[in-house]
A and B are shown apart, each in its own frame.
Chain A
Amino acid sequence: MDILIASTKIAVVLAAMLTSVVFLVLVERRMSAFIQNRIGPNRVGPYGLLQSVADVVKLLMKEDIVPAKANKPLHDLAPIISIAVAMTTFAVIPFGNAIELFGTTIKLQIADVNIGILYILAITSLGVYGLTLAGWSSNNKYSLLGGLRSSAQMISYELSMGLAIIGVILMAGTLRLDVIVEKQTEYLLGWLPAWNIFLQPVAFITFFIAAFAETNRLPFDLPEAEPELVGGFHTEYTGLKFGLFFLAEYMNMITASAIVVTLFLGGWHLPYADMLGLSGFALSILQVLTFCGKIVLVLLFFIAIRWTLPRFRYDQLMSLGWKVMLPLTLANALVTALILLAF
């Protein structure tokens, strides 16, 4: 029974993520078009909704090319690592409160791990292997540069990411993500929801910036900076293998937004929802929808930032990571600890 429930949850979450990637790509293309006073893809299906499906079919039919002196096993392995990491990170994120169904209580979280945050940090750092191996195995100087950049960037920003989370962990006193969300369902001063964005604004900003760097999104997309590195680590990838990298990037985006929502924006908490007088089941559904809505808002912000800011120079990226973000997050953790100690 437990296995059945778990596999159902996995199937639902994976299906939801894969379909949302399809639409996320379209939303990104349409939104960028609107920002640039264009219309964007609107021919395949109503409002261009099936554009991504057409793109996937195109990628499937492309030839799989491996460069002559490439390391074939690693070249094949790299996209697999990327996609596997992107798919597994979501496992610990609670997407709703516990739900009562057919007499059993089901936690809306695939894996109820007591070190949830640690799991996320560990798995996302594995993701860099995918990019670095892709760059290394392609036998191409641009790929190698992209892979090197990604490893340096990931390591620099993972530090400040982890240190930003420390503030949140100190407040919650636990590494469990479901407890962290539950702590955020209380109210400050009787009316303000106790979301961590209000309690830990510095941690929120630094974590958000680090999330951009971790997902290789503009303004920090140096590993694949098109004007300088052709395509960066995925220069030598074609067809479905390129598609896997693409899919992994967008899934990482969704996961990063989910983590931001869980840690800082109250997770599935909808303020004042208990005043609506809904039944337990309806309330749970509403909370899951709230969670999805918050993720969509964060994703839209991700996309808007991408089409607003220019790319950082590499030295600027490094000095921001080490000279600004790291001291800031360290100070934030220290101040939080001192305040908690004092009260």
Chain B
Amino acid sequence: MGRDNGKMIRTKDLTFWQKLYLPEVFKGLSLTLSQMFKPKFTYMYPEERFQPPSSFRGRPILVEENGVERCVACGLCSRVCPALAIEVQASETELEKERYPVRFEINMVRCIFCGFCEEVCPEEAIIMSKEYELVFSSQEEAIFGKERLLTPAEQVRERLEFLRNSR
């Protein structure tokens, strides 16, 4: 339906039964009532949780292998982070030319879960986990240090495999 010089023009005319309106009401009713018995989409949240696929970008974590982090403190993740959420402080290890992060902090209030840090990391040291339940009661609590970021590689195997297959 459109207007032309103040005159109404119907591009599609209703049939007699549609103008009667009542049959259409019952058509609508049969649709909604048939929907009533279809399976529901709701998760019963605290008891039943969403199990994300491997492609899910949850909270970023640091991969821990044989008790030490893979991270070499190159600082690329910190540079690429659009939200400036990552802070890395590097130091040298006993080995020659090897560095490690003394301090590695991600501010989870700032993090936007873009996954750039994971993409840029040359060591596959920082990756996105499946964890999505992030609740804090203070700003300080939202800053994750190394001790909360480090996760054994076995726990994030699925994501590591996904990254290798998709690269």
Contact = CB atoms under 8 A, between A and B. Distances in A.
Contacts of A31: 36
Interface in B27-80: 28-29, 31-33, 35-42, 44
B25 interface: yes
B35 A304 contact: no
Contact of B36 (A34, A205, A309): A34
B35 A37 contact: yes
A335 interface: no
Contact of B41 (A38, A304, A305, A309): A38
Contact of A39 (B32, B37, B38, B40): B40
Nearest to B28: A308
A304 B42 contact: no
A104 interface: no
Contacts of A37: 35, 38-41
Given A304-B32, A309-B28, A205 B40 contact: no
A196 B136 CA distance: 64
B35 A35 contact: yes
B95 interface: no
B29 A304 contact: yes
Nearest to B39: A37
B29 A305 contact: yes
B40 A308 contact: no
Contacts of B42: 38-39
Interface string B1-30: 000000000000000000000100100110
Interface string A92-128: 0000000000000000000000000000000000000
A279 interface: no
Contact of A308 (B22, B31, B41): B31
A35 B32 contact: yes
Interface residues of B, number: 16
A23 interface: no
A19 interface: no
Contacts of B36: 31, 34-35
A307 interface: yes
Nearest to B22: A205
Given A35-B32, A35-B35, A309 B44 contact: no
A308 B38 contact: no
Nearest to A42: B44
A309 B42 CA distance: 24
Contacts of B25: 305, 308-309
A296 to B, nearest CB: 16
B32 A307 contact: yes
Contacts of A34: 35-37, 40
B35 A36 contact: yes
Interface string A285-309: 0000000000000000000110111
B162 to A, nearest CB: 30
B40 A38 contact: yes
Nearest to B44: A39
Contacts of B22: 205
A47 B33 CA distance: 21
A119 B41 CA distance: 48
A35 B29 CA distance: 10
Nearest to A205: B22
Sorted from nearest, which 8 A-B pairs have the closest CB atoms? Answer: A34-B36, A39-B42, A308-B28, A308-B32, A35-B32, A38-B42, A37-B41, A39-B40
29 contacts: A31-B36, A34-B37, A34-B40, A35-B32, A35-B33, A35-B35, A35-B36, A36-B35, A37-B35, A37-B39, A37-B40, A37-B41, A38-B40, A38-B41, A38-B42, A39-B40, A39-B42, A39-B44, A205-B22, A304-B29, A304-B32, A304-B33, A305-B25, A308-B25, A308-B28, A308-B29, A308-B31, A308-B32, A309-B28
